[in-house]
Amino acid sequence: MGMFAGTPFDRPPHCAVCERLESECVCPPPVEKRTPPEKQSVRLNLERRKGGRLITTVRGLRDEGTHLADVLTLLKSTCGAGGTLQEDVVEIQGDQRERIAAALTAKKYRVRIQ
């Protein structure tokens, strides 16, 4: 008898829609819904952290799937700076407001610099 015998980890995975085994499932994959960039308003802020470091924050983006990670990758490569995701906020090192605004405007986001 295994460690996971009788638990959900012991049973093969089933489809949530048709209740068949995942290997036998014929359901179409779920459609990923994303809000188009034209309908998202983004706010750029400059914050000062301890030690006097500057951080540019991007707020107002909707977290839909891997959307925020994709935007973070775009902004980090555009600015040539490091960055991270903190909950629903994208943070980029340094004062990068103009570069971020240009990159997001090119992707058709509505941008407000504060």
Across residues 74-102, what is the average pLDDT?
A: 94
Determine contact, residues 58/92, Cβ cutoff 8 Å.
yes
The CA-atom distances, in angstroms, between 18 and each of 15, 28, 30, 94 are 6, 11, 13, 50
Domains belonging to the chain, first-starting first, are: 37-113 (3.30.780.10)
The predicted structure's pLDDT at residue 45:
95
The predicted structure's pLDDT at residue 16:
84
pLDDT of 2 > 70? The answer is no
The predicted structure's pLDDT at residue 80:
95
pLDDT tens per residue across span 35-65: 888 999 999 999 999 999 999 999 999 888 7
d(CA 42, CA 60): 5
The predicted structure's pLDDT at residue 102:
96
**What are the DSSP E strand ranges found in 1-114?**
41-48, 54-59, 83-86, 89-93, 110-113
Determine contact, residues 113/101, Cβ cutoff 8 Å.
yes
More confident residue, 101 or 88: 101
Using DSSP's 3-state secondary structure scheme, residue 43 falls into: strand
